[in-house]
Chain A
Amino acid sequence: MTDKEIPRQAASPGSPGAAGAAAGAGRPTNTSHSTALTTDELATLRAVVGRVIPADDLGPGAAEAGVDVFIDRALAGPNASDLPVYQAGLAALEKAVGTGGFASASPAAMDALLTKAEAGTLDGVPEAFFSLLLEHTRQGMFGDPVYGGNRDFVGWDLIGYPGIKLVWTSDEQEINAHVAPKHISVAKFGGQGW
């Protein structure tokens, strides 16, 4: 295969893709505003996802990756029907933790409540809540940064995914071949996220 068979720049000049590439591909520019959840709910959610995939010696976790932003946007978009489940689940966690609020609780206290939520033994937590939370946290952590999560590609680095790489060689498909992280988001190619 020759180089000329691969588009060097797929997005045409003036398209959102070209603009996105010029501005720094894949960096979410909008990381804080709430679109489905209230500011308080979002703060709780941020603390929750920060325990589902915590920051630790392996690096940033889901909170640092912006997974709360990802879920909030999903709930304002294609996952709108899940919004009541999140609202009830987050409210139940806040109620259980009492004064001070969930986000200010100790990691051990947060984990204890989430363990109860997972087991279905925490009052007021809808049955669907924890499995949705797990799935959406993974989508946000390991999905393309253009959707608001996986900020600075921390999720892809964690799981060993190099980023969008339009050309792989056979050698790179060998076992234990080293494939350097590319840190390329679909934003570079015109992807617009939600």
Chain B
Amino acid sequence: MSAQLPKADVVIIGLGAAGGIAAHVLTQAGIDVVGLEAGPRLDRTDFLAHDDEISGVILNWTGKYKCNKEVPTWRPNANAATAKPPVPPILMGNMVGGTSVHYGTQSWRFRADDFKVRSSTVERYGEAAIPENSTLADWPLSYEELEPWYDKVEYLIGVSGKGGSNPFASLRARDYPMPPLPSFGYGDLAQKGMESLGYHPFPQPAAILSERYDDRPACTLCGYCGFFGCWNDSKSSTLVSAIRRAEGTGKLDVRPNCRVTAILSNDKGQVTGVRYIDDQGQEREQPAGVVILSTYVYESVRLLLLSTSDHFRNGLANNSGQVGRNYMSHAYVSRNGLFPGKDLNLYSGTTGQAVAMDDLNGDHFDHTGLGFIRGAVVFASNGNLPIGQSRTIAPGVPQWGSAYKRWIHDNGDSVGSVFAQVEPLPYTGNFLDLDPKVKDPLGIPVVRVTYNFGENEDKATTYLDTKLAELIKAIGATETWPGFPARTPVPVNSHAYGGTRMGDDPATSVVNKYSLAHEAPNLMILGGSTFPASSGYNPTETIEALAWLSADYLANHLDEIAV
């Protein structure tokens, strides 16, 4: 029998991007919140002590507390055995602030069209343009509804960018709170190259400070950013913004190193609290009026499927069988280019410091006759590190020996790249469930990913590879070759979506537009798992805006929602 604690108004599982924003919104409204976080509480001295490529990129040290030990398995389809994925897993981080602490800071708003992805596609190209087995759907809310919440997020956490610089962007009520990060040499070259092909480059918006903001210092372009925590508190994680403020109200009880193992529910289908293992290894029960599940896609699906009861025999909020469905993962295409004799000085800055273009994203170009729909955001960024560059060698160069050494010596900082982040479609055959065999160190089944490209993704990535090859030559590369990962599915990804889709119809979705579960109305699910479609953009700012909208709705309707 686990020790039962006093009831909380709201318990949040996972204090990352989504949970951190929700904690801020609820505590500002005077609501008492318990925040259970599986990872530890870390700060900038911990991050500084791990500013090296082995810790951050090779070992993903902030994942060692949880996600590194429970990596989902993969199979390409439901008839196949699990296998080694075509690309190694790209993982998250576990700590107070979650993956917002170690992300690359790209901070995008989706476009109006992204929220109407199915209907706008059908309108322009007809029903036949959508692959037969795709479950592509419109969102149950519009860009216009989400715009005020994007704005609040940008001003709370601190996002740098230049409003109006992207001609494809949807209308915004006001500019970003601060200008973009400074331009950089290779970025200037990339911008000229993009313009020479008729594209419309602009400085990528980034959740990192270009100037002092909210008592935090500006980014010093140190180069340890994506997969690293910020030693300078310049990265706009929820740790140093939303959670810091929420704790300042005295209304947020943060409990690090606390691992939730079940969400509890009653025979009416209402959730009543959570069971967790605390930082002393003691099992506890935390009753709550509302449970917010804001872990990552994999844990959210896993906890729901594991939280069975007489009312929910197939998992919490899953009498519809929709939990785990409509899974997507961003695809990537990149091209490296050689710029002989030029020191590009890319060993600094962040992937957030980038020149981006939206011309090949969404439906910003005519897809007639191309055989695929949607596209990718394309960018050229800073933030290379030496081990990564030591692998980035041109075809025909020996992989070892004096010739390799000579090439790396001459060209280590003369390779520039362009990247495309490709929007995948959801399909009936791509889904998440529990692996029947593989368990984590606690004995809990890990998630099994069933995922593959459709013809749409094959054709989109092939098209984008051609476009990127053309682009990097226009930027000035004398030689170009495909980068990594090249045009293959990334089954396990920190850019994964779906599993608890948002929608109006309880038969085809798990949560409503306020992120409340159709079948368990006092359960809120936040994060990329609710996305009906992924867009080509990075997800975090949309996750945060949805968290704000949903938490605001909860704060205003707590008496009706809470049990």
Contact = CB atoms under 8 A, between A and B. Distances in A.
Given A1-B217, A160-B413, A167-B221, A51 B401 contact: yes
Given A165-B222, A191-B49, A159 B412 contact: yes
Interface stretch (A4-12, A38-46, A98-106): A4-12
A58 interface: yes
B45 A78 contact: no
Interface in A143-194: 143-144, 146-147, 155-156, 158-162, 164-170, 172-177, 179, 185-186, 189-192
B129 interface: no
B392 to A, nearest CB: 10
Given A17-B49, A156-B386, A176 B342 contact: yes
B184 A191 contact: no
B209 to A, nearest CB: 10
Nearest to B341: A176
A166 B52 contact: no
A10 B231 contact: yes
B146 to A, nearest CB: 33
A179 B52 contact: no
Contact of A174 (B50, B185, B218): B185
Interface string B43-74: 01100111111110011000000000000000
A173 B390 contact: no
Contacts of A111: 401
A56 B52 contact: no
B412 A158 contact: yes
A142 B348 contact: no
A6 B401 contact: no
Contacts of B218: 1, 5
B347 interface: yes
A170 B184 contact: yes
A179 B221 CA distance: 14
Interface string B159-195: 0000000000000000000000011111001000000
B409 interface: yes
A1 to B, nearest CB: 5
Contacts of A177: 185, 343, 345
Given A51-B401, A54-B401, A138-B391, A168 B342 contact: no
A159 B393 CA distance: 12
A170 B123 CA distance: 46
Contacts of A143: 52-54, 58, 386-387
B489 interface: no
Contact of B345 (A1, A158, A174): A174
B217 A5 contact: yes
Among A12, A56, A114, A168, find the residue whose CB has the most chain B CB atoms closer than 10 A: A168
- Name the residue in A61, A138, A139 with the highest tally of chain B Cβ atoms < 10 Å from its Cβ: A138
Contacts of A12: 45
Nearest to A146: B52
A44 to B, nearest CB: 16
B205 interface: no
A141 interface: yes
B140 to A, nearest CB: 43
Interface in A46-98: 51-54, 56, 58, 61, 78
A186 B399 contact: no
B406 interface: yes
A51 B347 CA distance: 27
B405 to A, nearest CB: 5
A134 interface: yes
> Which bracket fits the contact residues of A?
35 or more
Contact of A170 (B183, B223, B342, B400): B183
A194 to B, nearest CB: 9
B48 A190 contact: yes
Given A143-B53, A159-B413, A173-B349, A54 B405 contact: yes
A74 B171 CA distance: 51
Nearest to A5: B217
A191 B55 contact: yes
Contacts of A138: 387, 390-391
A47 to B, nearest CB: 14
Given A139-B58, A175-B345, A179-B345, A118 B399 contact: yes
A51 B400 contact: yes
B319 interface: no
B119 interface: no
B382 A173 contact: yes
B52 A161 contact: no
B204 to A, nearest CB: 15
Nearest to A186: B52
Interface in B452-509: none
Contacts of B385: 161
Nearest to B217: A5
Contacts of B382: 173
Contacts of A164: 51-52, 222, 224
Complex A-B, nearest 9 residue pairs according to Cβ-Cβ distance, in ascending order = A190-B49, A5-B217, A159-B412, A175-B185, A144-B52, A173-B184, A161-B386, A168-B348, A168-B221
Interface of B: 44-45, 48-55, 58-59, 182-186, 189, 212, 217-218, 220-224, 231-232, 342-345, 347-349, 382, 385-387, 389-391, 399-402, 404-406, 408-409, 412-413
24 contacts: A5-B218, A7-B48, A53-B400, A54-B402, A54-B405, A58-B402, A114-B400, A134-B399, A138-B387, A138-B391, A143-B387, A144-B54, A156-B386, A159-B386, A159-B412, A164-B222, A166-B232, A175-B186, A175-B342, A176-B343, A177-B343, A186-B52, A189-B51, A191-B50
Given A175-B343, A189-B231, 9 more contacts: A138-B390, A142-B53, A142-B389, A143-B53, A143-B386, A162-B347, A168-B221, A186-B52, A191-B51
